[in-house]
Amino acid sequence: MSLPKIKSTTVCAVVHNGQVAIGADGQATMGNTVAKSNVRKIRKLQDGKIVLGFAGSTADAFTLMERFDEKLGAFKGNMKRAAIELAKDWRMDRYLRRLEAMMIVANKEEVLVISGTGDVLEPDNGVATIGSGSMYAQSAALALKKHAPNLTAKEMVEESLHIAADICIYTNHNLIVEALD
């Protein structure tokens, strides 16, 4: 008998008016039960120059975060190159292939989504989301970018995550948001 994994979350990143913000809710779910409500799913790397958010199995996400940090060191902080190399390893390595998580990474210039299928995606519209409430947060962020351009990237992330938390049972209102400007 296998135990249910701890997972489910929403992570949202927005690039807007020269700012980048990334945030996540704090809920960790085990099966249909809230296991913890204040998990910190946003981490700073490279002395705060890069911010990372993760969704999926927590242990798997930490493994990938450590590997990504190693790649950043190997490629002198080049985020895109580190992301591509991590995605290649993730796809080809037997151990890494079994990991169930996704990440959004951001620096002052760009946001990338890294998946276990070997994808490194740079969103066309300046919005990246992952996790169980990602489509709710993405819809909200896109609407805010279009209809409330006076908001900061951080405010857009916060409001998008609150909207997702109102709709998605696997997302809560305990937010952590980091901005790079």
Helix (H) or strand (E) holding 57: none
DSSP string, 16-52: ETTEEEEEE---EEETTEEEES----EEEETTTTEEE
Residue 171 annotated as lining a ligand binding site: yes
Determine which one of 9, 10, 29, 58 is catalytic: 9
Residues 6+ apart with CB under 8 A from 93: none
b/e map of 156-167 (b: 16 or more CB within 10 Å)?
bbbbbbbbbbee
Name the residue among 17, 19, 9 with its Cα closest to residue 53.
9
Q: Is 9 a catalytic residue?
A: yes
Tell me if 12 is assigned to a ligand binding site: no
| Residue 174 three-state SS | coil
Q: How far apart are CA 1 and CA 67, in angstroms?
A: 30
Question: How far is 178 from 98, CA to CA, in rounded Å?
Answer: 29
Residue set of the binding site: 165, 168, 171
Residue set of the binding site for Na(+): 165, 168, 171
Residue numbers annotated as active site? 9
